[in-house]
Structure 1
Amino acid sequence: MTVRLNPYLSFRDNAREAMEFYKSVLGGDLEVATFEQMPGSDPDEANKVMHAMLTTPHGLVLMGADTPNAMPLNVGDSITVSLSGDQTELLGGWFDGLAQGGTVTAPFMQAPWGDTFGMVTDRFGVNWMVNAEGVRD
């Protein structure tokens, strides 16, 4: 059983370029998914990065994505803390705790890619993503 804490960077139309740069510096394997692979997304944003994950040989994980045009991107909002792992109950509890006094921007529920996923801005203004591998019980 694992739980990880990873930085998640937000970009405006240059996530692929930035993540490829980080790969050139840090090494490792880069996985990139575009909005084209997400049902119901804006066709004009099909080539934008929905999610990218760089995993380095030293165990570092850096994630990032392009912010859709319909969403604001403020410099202070350009990083999100991502909690992920395979302990759905634990991660769900953390999501609920972070949501106390905060704002849920996406409920912790099954996502189109099969995991349980949610987003919340805590009461201090910190953005969080929580992803549990598999389906929530």
Structure 2
Amino acid sequence: MAITTTHLNFRGTARTALEFYQSVFGGHLTAIAYRDFGMPTDLPDADNIVFGQVTADNGFRIMAYDVPSHAPATAAPATTSREHGMTLTNQGFFVSVRGETTEEIAALWNKLADGADIIEQYGPSQWTPGFGMLTDRFGVTWILDVAAPHAG
């Protein structure tokens, strides 16, 4: 079954925010930095969070990441794009849908993609067998991925 999760976008404070949410709601914190995916450690964003989440037994779930520092802070209308393998955005949140199988998420992807701007085509990524990002015809940005255990 697919689960919808709020995905918050921060500018260098995702780790602190996730730690706070964990202290409030309990649960397990996952925080993976850009350097963990190969960004050189001497770059300014290397220690920022590229994938973070708090999941609790009570059903609470929130995801977050740090927008790369060279992305525009504000703009109208909302924008999201890919550059040098990083997602750049001025949006405060995404809607994240996570499912158990690639087939389940691919079926949802195919429907949401109708009339959408594709930011990252659905397919395998470094952390999951299925991931994609798009902005639908109504201007809402969605992340769709397959739940995969993380050893960390």
TM-score range (shorter-chain normalised) is 0.7 to 0.9
40-49 or 25-34: bigger deviation: 40-49
Contact 1:67-1:73 within 8 A present in 2 as well: no
Partner of 1:53: 53
33-42 or 3-12: bigger deviation: 33-42
Gaps in structure 1 of 5+ consecutive residues: none
Q: TM-score, normalised by structure 2?
A: 0.79
Partner of 1:35: 34
Aligned length: 133
Instruction: Provide the C-alpha distance between the structure 2 equivalents of 1:93 and 1:73, rounded to a whole number of angstroms.
Output: 33
RMSD: 2.0
Alignment of 1:67 onto 2:76: no
Q: TM-score, normalised by structure 1?
A: 0.86
Letter in 1 for 2:45: E
Contact 1:30-1:55 within 8 A present in 2 as well: yes
Gaps in structure 2 of 5+ consecutive residues: 79-90
Instruction: Provide the C-alpha distance between the structure 1 equivalents of 2:40 and 2:114, rounded to a whole number of angstroms.
Output: 30
Question: Of the candidates 108, 111, 126, which is equivalent to residue 112 of structure 1?
Answer: 126
66-75 or 84-93: bigger deviation: 66-75
3-12 or 75-84: bigger deviation: 75-84
Partner of 1:12: 11
Partner of 1:101: 115
Question: Of the candidates 75, 92, 97, which is equivalent to residue 83 of structure 1?
Answer: 97
Letter in 2 for 1:69: S
- Percent of counterpart pairs with the same letter? 30
